[in-house]
Amino acid sequence: MKNVYTSWDLDLLADNMIEKIMEKWDSPFSSPAVVFTDPKTEQWFKLRWLKKKSQGAGKGSGQGILMNLKTLRIQQFLFDLVTPDAAAFQKAERLSVELLRDVIISKLTSREGSGTGAGSKYYFETLDAPEVTTYLTTPDKKINANHLYDFAQTIASLFLDYEDTRPDALNQLLAQQAWQKKLYDDVIGEKGLEIEGTKYLTLYQLTKENKKAGGGNLTFSWKKDRPVFIFGFSGIGQIYRQVLDDFSKDFQLEVFLQLGDIPKEPKNQLLDKWGGFGREQFGLWSKNTQAALITSAESFSRTDSILHKTQKAIAEDTEMTALKFDASDTSLTLTAAPTALREIDALHSKICHLLEKDGVQLGDILVVAPHIQNYKTAIEQVFD
């Protein structure tokens, strides 16, 4: 069974999920499972839990309870969930962007033809894609190492995005660029990678193997009396949702989304421009179940800054009006930067400035991005 709860207020959403977890936690030996998109969201949620417990809300010791709480990442959770019991898959692992990137680099720089001299070509030169060769080589025909790394990282992310978001249209998407299809077939194909006896598969490939073993139906390795909580998601890939929908037919799934029920013709200008995706996701998540909207009179009631006024207008779907510019109001700012590194530099300065204010702690700060992994190198350079 699937229950869906939504709220624009992330704090309120987290507090309600904490209460639901405690209601369902009836065995000291087996906690409910809580699934997050990334470690930073998990860290924020745990800090919120400790803060709530330290204020005396709810029952039990916050620190002791959190030590026993089973937390998981969505990708690994689903991969383990659908791994067939067959011996051939006991050493199967999830194909990550990082591993696929390294395999693509090795493939692109391998030699095709006889020997390594003038009679042979690099693999990327055999793709019949002049734009790829131009990008990967310097004017003197040497491999550009920086471009090679960036290219492999981008293509690896793209291939796995195809698998996650549109597996039913994968071949059509790849067919739009012949060199992409050739590279995909040569490094992943239908059976994934195998390195030193270990299979590396995408979730889509693993679900197909699971269905073969289950006579056409997905089977799951999970205890029926152990509920699963999902926190903070909005949009996820098609294959993720398909697996979760099948899972919820026989298992308890509690979904907490930072979303609202967006009308087809919103009054708010931002919802009107950008609300289509959220409305679509709300409809997909609440398919075959009624979503419960969590609200509070205190949520978005403040109007003392441009940020609070914008949040209130979005949450209540009211039209936004022009505001008089106030240079002292820094609650909502826009920063333009030429590179990801400069973006992270600006972010670092902003966080340091916030922490200098009285009462502001790291647990009060949340950094979000559409693809946070693209900033990994810059974050390590600036923050470490």
pTM confidence score:
0.77
Is residue 50 within 8 A of residue 62, CB to CB? The reply is yes
Distance CA 344, CA 375 (A): 8
> Do residues 60 and 22 lie in contact, with contact meaning Cβ atoms separated by under 8 Å?
yes
- CA dihedral sign, ordered 175, 177, 178, 179: negative
Do 254 and 23 touch, CB atoms closer than 8 A? no
Q: How many CB atoms are located within 10 Å of the residue 74 CB?
A: 18
The pLDDT of residue 215:
86
- pLDDT given at position 115: 55
Q: Which stretches within 166-305 are classed as H helix? A: 170-175, 178-187, 203-213, 238-247, 269-285
Instruction: Check if CATH label 3.40.50.1820 holds for domain 1-83+221-299.
Output: no
State the pLDDT at residue 118: 56
Is the separation of the CB atoms in 51 and 359 below 8 Å? no
CA 116 vs. chain centroid, Å, equals 42
Contact 3, 253 (CB under 8 A): yes
pLDDT of residue 318: 92
- Check: CB of residue 338 under 8 Å from CB of residue 329: no
**φ and ψ at residue 96, rounded to 5 degrees:** -95, 160
Instruction: Report which residue type is found at 207.
Output: T
d(CA 246, CA 58): 33
Q: What six digits make up the tokens of 161?
A: 């995005």
The residue ranges of every structural domain in the chain are 1-83+221-299, 96-191
Position 362 scores a pLDDT of 81
Radius of gyration of the chain (CA): 24
Between CA 87 and CA 85 the distance in angstroms is: 6
Whether 27 contacts 35, CB under 8 Å = no
User: What does the pLDDT profile of the chain (384 residues) look like in tens digits?
Assistant: 899 999 988 889 999 999 999 898 887 778 899 999 888 788 888 888 888 776 665 544 455 567 778 898 888 899 889 888 777 777 788 899 999 999 999 999 998 765 555 567 899 999 999 999 999 999 988 999 999 999 999 999 888 888 877 777 777 777 788 899 999 999 988 888 888 888 899 888 888 888 888 888 899 988 888 999 999 776 677 788 889 999 999 999 999 998 887 888 999 999 998 888 888 888 888 888 888 889 888 888 888 899 999 989 988 899 998 888 888 898 888 999 999 999 999 999 999 988 988 778 887 788 888 778 788 889 999 998
